[in-house]
Amino acid sequence: MTRHAWYSPGRLRTRIAAASGWQLALMLCLGGAVSALAMAPVFAWPVLIVTLAVLLWTVDGARRRARPLRAAFWRGFLFGFGYFLAGMFWLAYAFINRGPEFIPLIPLAVPALAALLAAFWGGAMVAYALLAQRSEWRVLVFAVCIAVFEWLRGHMFGGLPWNLPAYAWPAGGAVSQTASWFGVYGLSLLTVLTLVSPAVAVGPAFNLKRSMPAMAGAAILSIMFSFGALRLQESDPGTVPDVRLRIVQSSITQAEKWGSDGALLARDRYLGLTAAPGLADVTHVLWPEGALPIYMLEDGATLSLIGELFASDQVLMTGISRRVVGPEDDTYYNSLAVLRYQGGAPRIVGLYDKVLLAPFGESIPFSGLLSMIGFADFARLQYTPGAGPFVMDLPGAPPVMPLICYEGIFPGFVRAGTPRPSWLFNLSNDAWFGETSGPRQHVNQTRYRSIETGLPMIRSASRGVSGVIDALGRMPVEIQPRSEGAYDVDLPRPVAAPLYALWGDWPFWIINGFLVAGIILQRRKVVEKYLKYRR
């Protein structure tokens, strides 16, 4: 044995697969945490080549344990826990911004959410341990199991498809265009497959058979890049005539908005920015989610002040908190209100209530438990979900589908609107999460909805990334979170509906079906061969 034999790739793989105890737990948690660097704003996707290899090798080692399924689950869980804790730490800022009395909830809520999401990765590794063969093509099983359980994570218990493997690719880039065919779940499958495939090529010496998955992965990645590059060269469909949008971006913080005289401060700030030169040429003014900390539709003074700025037939699209007074309890909604001003008087021409409510922000999981341990006030801070997504007809503009805040990260939700809209309007309040990676992750994921649907998007996000997203996910107008001003933009046209917009996740499931059928057939042949040998 040479002096440096310990560092040979084959021996390193063997030592990682045989790791146990606290060293294994630490390695997997750190591996998951490092994997979060593949997400926005860093996009260091090459780290997944290393970290996914570590996960694969350790779960391969678990299959040789006395209780392989339990060992596989905990390996996947620990990796996922580190991944989600590092990738979503910014949720803590929402509790801080709510007030000092909510800070004690951080050590409970944030790790609990990370653990819940990590359980899906644990389940994926159990499925892998059950189905995978010893051959180098087990990477197919590994990728399928992760992709299927990520789909489940995006749909079960309300779903939270945050930081899917597909989001390692910047939206609007060449590889991201694959989502126009297979959606983000299909792209997640291909991402895991191409990035983990080099792991099975690692050995004491080059072996052509063992290297075949890595070569296939490189070929798939090349095809995705080439397809995306060609799609990005498509001709620009242009902009919609006679529509001029004004995105109003304020840098006001949550502490300022909800502090003493915060309502007046926010109102005056938005009115001042809206009144910037050029307003007469604007057809629609866009304010973000929760622009004003008041029930705006009940505030006649604020509505009148807005009317003094607007010419006849100009439209305001703004996020509001809406209250419906009931005989016993009031009902609250997070809404988009579309107001058309004629002669200074407002008329509500559109109203949309948010359907998918953010956990711990708008709906409180385990509210009964939180009330029991002394957080009853926090547990009561809940909105009521709206009836469902729909396409809204607008005066002076093509039909639009509203997406409030994190509704924009759900692919199936965007497809639920019928008939097909001409554009998407995503309004958000990213000020809750400070200057962290959260707002950057949010906008990258939201831009994928344009790639999947072929629809442009206008985004208005308080202290988030606002701007114009074209039908291919590119962002020709990008307004930074701390910017403040009025930005007048044109509305891009949509492109022809891509495959995903027509078929949804069916192509993803068809691919998985073929792969699973092949896996089962191969496993059956191995079992039959083993039984024949025993006889």
Which are the catalytic amino acids?
289, 354, 405
C-alpha separations of 17 from 53, 55, 111, 140, 228 in Å: 10, 9, 27, 19, 37
Are the CB atoms for 179 and 452 separated by under 8 Å? yes
**Strand pairing category for 345-353 and 392-394:** unpaired
Alpha carbon distance 458, 468 (integer Å): 5
> Which residues 6+ apart lie within 8 Å of 83 measured at CB?
32, 33, 35, 36, 118, 121, 163
Torsion of CA 249, 254, 260, 266, to 10 degrees: 10
Coil, strand, or helix at residue 435? coil
The one-letter amino acid at 239:
T
Burial 312-348 (b: 16+ CB within 10 A, else e): eebbbbbbbbbeeeeeeeeebbbbbbbbbbeeeebee
Coil, strand, or helix at residue 149? helix
> Which residues 6+ apart lie within 8 Å of 350 measured at CB?
317, 336, 337, 338, 392, 393, 394
Q: Which residues pair with 401 in a beta bridge?
A: 424
Q: Give how far the C-alpha of residue 243 lies from the chain's centroid of Cα atoms, to the nearest Å.
A: 29
- Please tell me the total number of residues recorded for the chain in this structure: 535
Alpha carbon distance 463, 427 (integer Å): 11
Query: Please, where are the H alpha helices in 316-454?
Result: 367-372, 376-379, 411-415, 438-453
**Strand pairing category for 345-353 and 331-342:** antiparallel
Long-range CB contacts (within 8 A, 24+) of 145-149: 146/121, 146/188, 146/189, 146/192, 147/185, 147/186, 147/188, 147/189, 147/192, 147/508, 147/512, 148/124, 148/512, 149/120, 149/121, 149/123, 149/124
Q: Which residues pair with 325 in a beta bridge?
A: none
Of 94, 121, 117, 116, nearest in space to 106 by CA: 94
Are the CB atoms for 439 and 426 separated by under 8 Å? no
Q: For 222-289, give the DSSP string.
A: HHHHHHHHHHHTSPP--EEEEEEEEEEE----HHHHTSTTHHHHHHHHHHHHHTSTTGGG-SEEE--T
Tokens 């809406």, located at residue: 322
